[in-house]
Structure 1
Amino acid sequence: MNRYVLRNATIYTPYFTIDRGCIYIEDGYISEVDMEPCASTDMKAIDLHNYVVGPGFIDTHIHGILGVDVMDAKPSSFLSMSRALLRYGVTSFIPTTVTAPHNTIIEVCKAFVEAYSQWTPLVGSRLLGLHLEGPYISSKRAGAQNKQFIRSPCIEEFKEYYSICRGLIREVTIAPEIEGAIDFIQTVSKMDIAVQIGHTDATYRETVQAILAGASKATHLYNGMREVHHREPGVVIALLSTPTVYIELIADLIHVSREMLKFTIDYAGVDRIILITDAVSATGMPDGIYELGGLKIKVENGISKLAEGGGLAGSTLTMDKAFRNIISLGYSIGDAFRMVSTNPAASIGAVERERIGLIRPGYRADLVVLNRELEVVMTIIDGYIVFNRI
């Protein structure tokens, strides 16, 4: 069914709230958004009284879920992630690598391209491209990345990845203080790729230089970064104080406290915040021992840590939980949708390129339907109802 109307829903576009609204869907796109009473039509109607509809969640930083991992380097793993994310309201996502040997990243790129060619809306969440989180990062701030494979940025190596990925690299994380980083940022930011600053020990000055060179996003702010100091404000303050930089936050209330989340959102402004999961393969699985980029991780009470050293190693967060967590801090549902949908899309140019992240005529019918408890009850991709428990 790809031609129908959703009626009587509370719609968050997210810039407007329509208390009793209609969304007309034709051939995978939104053809009209209106208020009740809606015009009569021969379209099939789905009554969503007492339900909330917003643009589908977009996770731009995720490593794995339900036992599969991006670094498996298998097309089936990407497609399994795609299917698994539907129940959490995710309509689009960017699988994210970790620091690894050159040939391993090559194999990941090949597997992604194959999965991308097989994807349809009926498979699952939309594959937007890859995020290379490493290998061009700081050994001092490696976090749960394998230090053995960290290396200096090499534009020739990156262009090989880009070529094998057929231009489907959408984001790359880099530490701006390492040798060759600024030249790398200048080159890559001109390739329609979002350059992110993360896993870094950069000073304030080094970070500003990176932003001026074209860096436009912060990779999970605070985590894997030099701490703030009143005599050397460092990377965090440079990123926060630059209005053109998007800010990733892991809103699991573990990586960043409630107080710091609220401070960051209030200071930076809602339109700069991108909620991510940074989820690993243990997400949706029982506690136990798992792996991330060749490093053993131990999950206890849903908290993922390195088995050796005990540092945080990704998360088991899902986007629907991140959405509810932010609302629990006092933010509106409309603001939350901007942080999980519109801003992630805007940060990689997907509002214009893929026509996602907004409920507006001419945009893709990528939607999430929530009940009054803000639990996902329906996921729609290109107009296809791909998850439904109403």
Structure 2
Amino acid sequence: MKIIDTHIHGLNGLDSRTTDVSHILNITSLLAELGVSEIILSIYPSCIEVMRSNLSVIKQAINIQNEDKMDEIINDTTISNGNIIFPKLKKTKICGVHLEGPFLNPMYCGALNAASFLEPLEHNLMSLIDGYTDIIRIITVAPELNGAVKLIKKITNMGIIVNMGHSNASYSQAEAGFNAGARGITHLFNAMRPFKHREPGLAGFALTNKDIYVEVIADPFHLHQSTIDLIFGVKRTERIIIISDSVKETTLTTFNKSPISVSDKLLGGAMSVTEAAKRLVDIGYPPETVLKCISANPIRFLSNNIH
């Protein structure tokens, strides 16, 4: 079994905003201790030059791992007495990059730097990703922005998965993004227009569309437990992906405290996907269901298969 985190920026003082390849490799070593087999490393929005520098360092790390001839990392995760046991691993493989922006809505920037957001124009996209399409697996786009639907089609036709997020999209705008090729939702309910009964928005579309995948930060800070229960009650389990969204302020030892900024904004997730999975099992979720959300579901999602 492979345990996969499709949305992680870093942890323990390290993240993807670096020019030092050893920082990236150290992130993978820390995650191996937690039983995570593979990751899609997320890059923050910034100016194009900085994002390309981050891409370059991650590509170096991927090349180093490939030169080491890393075999497929199979995790001997087991279920014992109703609990999930995640063994420590020797390595965690970087399977690509998620660009969380810069084609996002400043209204819902969350902890991201809204000043770095760009219009969803093709020349902005190509200036950013040229030379790195082989490692970019996911790009988050706000579908309501002028030109976003066209860009979603362009990205999708390049074989890159589009998530929708950091968005003020209405239900119909979210549907237009999906029809253009978007296949996922970035951290459902966080950094998006609130669900309302007259205008359910992106969150409502995410819950009611049977095919789109949803990321869920399943720590006790980003979502009320009743909201997590709602997601699992309404959404097809096969379309739920538990993510960490962990950041450099996330530590290996303090899973009961979420990283916050000086302005009291949530900076990122409080725990690894393995810790989040154990937490859900501890409060009564079936371990088989939870494991799907960090293994079979992200594998299917990354294959870009909607069936």
Alpha-carbon offset, residue 203 of structure 1: 0.6
Quick check: 1:106–1:164 contact (8 Å CA) kept in 2? no
Query: What SS class does the counterpart of residue 259 from structure 2 fall into?
Result: strand
Runs of 5+ unmatched residues, structure 2: 72-89
Q: Is the CA contact 1:110–1:164 (under 8 Å) kept in the aligned structure 2?
A: no
Report SS of the residue matched to 2:37: strand
Corresponding residue of 2:30: 84
Deviations 1:54-92 (A, max 9, x none): x13100000111211101133222211111101111000
Counterpart of 1:151? 118
Tell me, in whole angstroms, the C-alpha distance in 2 between the residues paired with 1:328 and 1:192. Answer: 38
Change (3 A) 1:260 1:131: same
Report the counterpart of residue 96 of structure 1 in structure 2. Answer: 42
Render the CA deviation track for 1:200-242: whole Å, top value 9, x for unaligned. Answer: 0111111110011011101000000100111111111111111
Q: Does 1:106 align with 2:52?
A: yes
Corresponding residue of 2:84: none
Q: Which residue of 2 aligns with 1:10?
A: none
Per the normalisation by structure 1, the TM-score is 0.70
In structure 2, the partner of 1:195 is 162
CA 190–160 in structure 1, closer or farther in 2 if over 3 Å, else same: same
8 Å contact kept, 2:45–2:113: yes
8 Å contact 1:198–1:225 — kept in the other structure?
Answer: yes
Q: Identity rate of aligned residues, in percent? A: 28
Q: CA deviation at 1:165?
A: 1.8
Determine whether 1:306 maps to 2:272: no
Distance in 1 separating the partners of 2:186 and 2:37: 21
For 1:61 and 1:82, the matched residues in 2 are separated by 14
Instruction: Note closer, same or farther for the CA distance 1:155–1:76 as it changes in structure 2 (3 Å cut).
Output: farther
Distance 1:328 1:208 in 2: 36
Q: Which residue of 2 aligns with 1:128?
A: 95
Question: Deviation digits for residues 318-343 of structure 1, max 9, x if unmatched?
Answer: 12211112223432221111101111
Tell me the residue number matched to 1:57: 3
Comparing 256-265 with 159-168, greater Cα deviation is found at 159-168
Q: Figure out how many residues of one structure are paired with residues of the other and give that number.
A: 284
| Structure-1 separation of matches of 2:232 and 2:247 | 25
Decide which of 280, 283, 295 is 1:326's aligned counterpart: 280
Distance in 2, Cα, partners of 1:265 & 1:285: 27
- What are the equivalent positions in structure 2 for 1:91-240 lying under 5 Å apart? 91-119=37-65, 120=68, 121=70, 124-240=91-207
Cα 1:177–1:166 shift into 2, 3 Å: closer
- Which protein has the larger Cα radius of gyration, Structure 1 or Structure 2? 1
8 Å CA contact 2:118, 2:124 repeated in 1:
no
Deviation at 1:313, TM superposition (A): 1.2
- Structure with more of its chain in helix, by fraction: 2
Deviation at residue 286 of structure 1 after TM alignment: 7.4
Offset of residue 115 of structure 1? 0.8
Q: Secondary structure at the match of 2:106?
A: coil
Is residue 18–residue 57 contact of structure 2 (8 Å, CA) maintained in 1? Answer: no
Separation in 1 of the partners of 2:239 and 2:97?
21
Please say if residues 259 and 268 of structure 2, whose CA atoms lie closer than 8 Å, have aligned partners that are also in contact.
yes
Q: CA RMSD in A?
A: 1.9
Say whether the 8 Å CA contact 1:74–1:112 is kept in structure 2: no
